[in-house]
Amino acid sequence: MAVGTSNPTALEVMQDAPVIPVIVLQDVAHAVPLARALVAGGIRMLEVTLRTPVALACIEKIAKEVPDAVVGAGTVRSAADAQAAQLAGARFAVSPGYIHAIGKACHDLGLALLPGVATGSEILAAQEDGYQQLKFFPALQAGGPAMLKAWHGPFNDVLFCPTGGVSTANAGEFLALPNVACVGGSWLTPADAVARGDWDRITQLAAEAARLPRA
């Protein structure tokens, strides 16, 4: 996918690389060098979670200063979150669960959404609103690869991005499944490396993640 300036589709977000980094930033000064380090390793779709007071400012910095990155907002829990994220420069959104209000807001904003689901009923609700590319969260705690295998029968038209408990140790097991397009993980941006400004380590982790095989 060419990065360009238009918002990607949810499918483009999921297919760009095998891993979407789940990023928690505590310092705005880390946002740009972190994003550049990930892009240098081949990871362009960056999920900055709205879990800290500086998250929106970090999204804005990355959107303005790292043109090769496609920055999105994670932990979107309301329509207001989606609106604030887009105003900051986010080009896609990821939610930890799904409600109609979030789906409608992202649709109206033209913002691709990966809605979080953990049950069949949540999948049906997201599908009813037109969402076919979903985040399985918390993946490991909600049943892991076995749950995704079970869902492949009744929901064989859905692609998943498992997130939550995914690591280098089990990412391959998830990525080998036919209904998994990518995984989400925080291991690409370890807190100690970010705090030290060890951007070379993050680039290395990103490069390793970008080479993971997919089904």
The helix (run of H) or strand (run of E) holding residue 117 is strand 116-117
8 A C-beta contact, residue 117 and residue 123: yes
Considering the candidates 47, 60, 61, 122, report the single residue annotated as catalytic. 47
Q: Is 47 a catalytic residue?
A: yes
The helix (run of H) or strand (run of E) holding residue 92 is strand 92-94
The three-point CA angle 168-15-99 to 5° equals 90
Q: Is 61 a catalytic residue?
A: no
Radius of gyration of the chain (CA): 16
Q: How far is Cα of residue 129 from the mean position of the Cα atoms in its chain?
A: 20
Q: How far is Cα of residue 79 from the mean position of the Cα atoms in its chain?
A: 18
Considering the candidates 61, 135, 149, 173, report the single residue annotated as catalytic. 135
Which residues have a catalytic role annotated?
47, 135
